[in-house]
Amino acid sequence: MSTSSLPTPPRAKRVEHVREFHGDRVVDPYEWLRDKDDPEVIAHLEAENAYTTARTEHLEGLRGAIYDEMVARVQQTDLGVPVQHAGWWYYTRIAEGEQYTRECRVAARPELPHGGRPALEGGQPPEGEQILVDGNVLGAGQEFFALGGSETTHDGTRLAYAVDLAGDERYALTVTDLGSDATRTGPVGDVVDQSVTDIGYGLAFSLDGRFVFYTRWTESWRQHQVWRHEVGRPSDEDVLVHEEPDELYWVGVGSSRDDRWIIIVTASKTTSEVRLLDAADPTGEPRLVAPRREGVEYDVEPAGDRLFIVHNAADVDYELAVAPIDSTDPADWVNVLGPTPGERIVGCDAFDDFAVVSLRSGGLAGLRVIDLTATLPGSPVGRVRELAWHEPLYTLSTGNNPDPASTSVQVVVESFVTPRSVYDVDLSDLATTGVGEWTLLKQQQVLGGVDLTRYVQRREWATAPDGTLVPVSIVHRQGVEPDGTAPGLLYGYGSYEHCLDPWFSVLRLSLLDRGFVHAVAHVRGGGEMGRRWYDSGKLLAKRNTFTDFIAAADLLVEQGWVAPDRLAAEGASAGGLLMGAVANLAPDRFRAIHAGVPFVDALNTILRPELPLTVGEWEEWGNPIEDPEVYAYMRGYTPYENIAQRRYPAILASTSLNDTRVFYVEPAKWVAALRDSVVDDPDRPVLLKTEMVAGHGGVSGRYESWKQAAFELAFLMDQVGVTA
**209, 155 Cβ separation under 8 angstroms:** yes
Residue 415 annotated as catalytic = no
Whether the CA torsion 176, 406, 262, 91 is positive or negative: it is: negative
Give strand ranges (E) for 121-220: 130-134, 146-152, 158-164, 172-177, 186-187, 190-193, 199-205, 211-217
User: How many other CB atoms are found less than 10 A from the CB of residue 98?
Assistant: 18
CA–CA dist 71, 314 (Å, integer): 50
472 bridge partner residues: 460, 521
The pair phi, psi for residue 589, each rounded to 5°, is: -80, -20
* CB neighbourhood size of 25 (10 A): 8
Is 17 annotated in the active site?
no
Q: Verify whether residue 329 is a known catalytic residue.
A: no
Q: Per-residue DSSP letters for 370-419? A: EE-SS--TT-SS--EEEE---SSS-EEEE-----TT-SEEEEEEE-SSS-
Cβ atoms 583, 565 nearer than 8 A: no
The size of the chain, in residues, is 724
Element (H, E) at 136: helix 135-138
Alpha carbon separation from 683 to 56, 715, 720 (Å, rounded): 12, 12, 11
Q: Which of 711, 602, 580 is nearest to 648 (CA)?
A: 580
Distance CA 245, CA 398 (A): 34
One of 327, 659, 700, 718 is an active-site residue; which one? 659
CA-to-CA distance for 310 and 531, rounded, in angstroms?
14
In this structure, are residues 601 and 608 in contact, taking their beta carbons and an 8 Å threshold? no
Element (H, E) at 348: strand 343-350
- Which helix (H) or strand (E) segment is 489 a member of? strand 488-492
**Of residues 44, 154, 476, 696, which has the active-site annotation?**
696
Catalytic entry in 272, 361, 573, 700: 573
The whole-angstrom separation of Cα 307 and Cα 131 is 35
Positions annotated as catalytic residues are 573, 659, 696
